[in-house]
Chain A
Amino acid sequence: MLTETLDIDVAAFEAGTGWEIKPEGACKGEVCVPLGGGDFDPVATAERLGMAIVRDEQRGLFALGPESFNGRALPTAEAPEVVLEDLAGREVRLSSFRGTKVVLVAWAPY
């Protein structure tokens, strides 16, 4: 996620990373990573989840990389929610295909 500040509140962190902040920790699907309690600390949470924090000095812009704490791209087998667009610019949520098997094919014009 991109952010101009590391003073990220819970709602922005959840929307940007897909991780929910709960009493038991940062959770995605059935996986919860304990955070040690206390007030939400976005930098400590990112570190706990193995999210790199990279700064563009000139722009004063930060990027939080994706989680890597378990050494794998997927922290859980539960498919992550991703909001994409169709050619007409309409939003399509991958979760809207629940109930069928899905074969997702990534391609690109390059």
Chain B
Amino acid sequence: MRSELRAEHGDTIEIITVSVETDGADASREFIEAAAPEHPSLLDRHHQLERRFGVVNIPNVVWSDEAGMVVRPAEAGWAGPAEYPEWLATIMEERAREAEAAGKDPMAALQAGQDRDTYADAIRDWAAKGPESEFALSPDAAVAASQPRGDDQSAAAAHFELGQQLWRDGDREGAFAHWRETHRLAPDAWTYKRQAWSLGGNEARGGGDFGRFVQFPGPDQDWPFDGDFNTDTGALAPGEYYPKTL
């Protein structure tokens, strides 16, 4: 989508991708190199985007205008098709085939809500019309549309940050205790859940390519969290994971 936008609108618009990942470049490099983006591709290994912008899941997208004003706050969105390394694309295709053969659609609940194609059209509309686009919000509307945040969400973020520091210092039990508290206080903060589950799942499987995506306990595994990806997303109603905001 970036090349399409640049072809039509020159350098009046830029796409920036940010990997919100505690393990930073170590975990992100392979994906960035597979996508070989022409746009800036950055790393947020301290999870600042949640605190500063209210990012709560991935992908989440924020639009800001030439003056640096947010015109759409963090929301589920897509600026183009995802690009995966070959090994992961193969695994994903295999899983999809298995699910289909079993008559299941495990991604149905996750794919309801925000519409991928419509979202890209909204970006195109804004690129062309700027503030006249129906999708560009006024400053007050942008603030009002940003994620709800009260004491619990603030405390959840504080626990997450403490957990990251302890994790980096090798105190995994200490980190997990803070992250359990994060998850309890802010059950809709999916990046905080997925990051913790990913680190726990990856650790349990001794690293390797796919470990970061195994966000649930293995057989006989002492899982350090109260929830996991399958259980928590399984409890959602369609559309709750990527809420429709357009």
Contact = CB atoms under 8 A, between A and B. Distances in A.
A76 B154 contact: no
Given A68-B150, A73-B147, A106-B59, A99 B66 contact: yes
B79 to A, nearest CB: 5
A65 to B, nearest CB: 3
B149 A71 contact: yes
A109 B67 contact: no
A53 B158 contact: yes
Interface in A41-57: 50-54, 56
Interface stretch (B104-112, B138-146, B233-241): B138-146
Given A50-B151, A71-B150, A98-B66, A104 B61 contact: yes
Contact of B159 (A18, A63, A67): A63
Contact of A110 (B71, B144, B198): B198
Nearest to B17: A105
B154 A65 contact: yes
Interface in A66-110: 66-68, 70-80, 82, 84-87, 89, 92, 94-95, 97-110
A107 B55 CA distance: 10
- Interface residue tally of chain A, by bracket? 35 or more
A107 B59 contact: yes
Contacts of A84: 18, 42-44, 48
Interface string B144-177: 1011111101111111011001100001001000
B133 to A, nearest CB: 10
B162 A61 contact: yes
A85 B19 CA distance: 10
A31 to B, nearest CB: 9
Contacts of A75: 143
15 contacts: A52-B158, A54-B158, A59-B162, A66-B157, A71-B150, A72-B146, A82-B49, A87-B28, A100-B12, A103-B79, A105-B17, A106-B55, A106-B60, A106-B191, A110-B195
Interface of B: 11-21, 24-25, 27-32, 40-45, 48-49, 51-55, 58-71, 73-74, 77-79, 82, 123, 126-127, 130, 138-140, 142-144, 146-151, 153-159, 161-162, 165-166, 171, 174, 178, 191, 194-195, 197-198, 212-213, 215
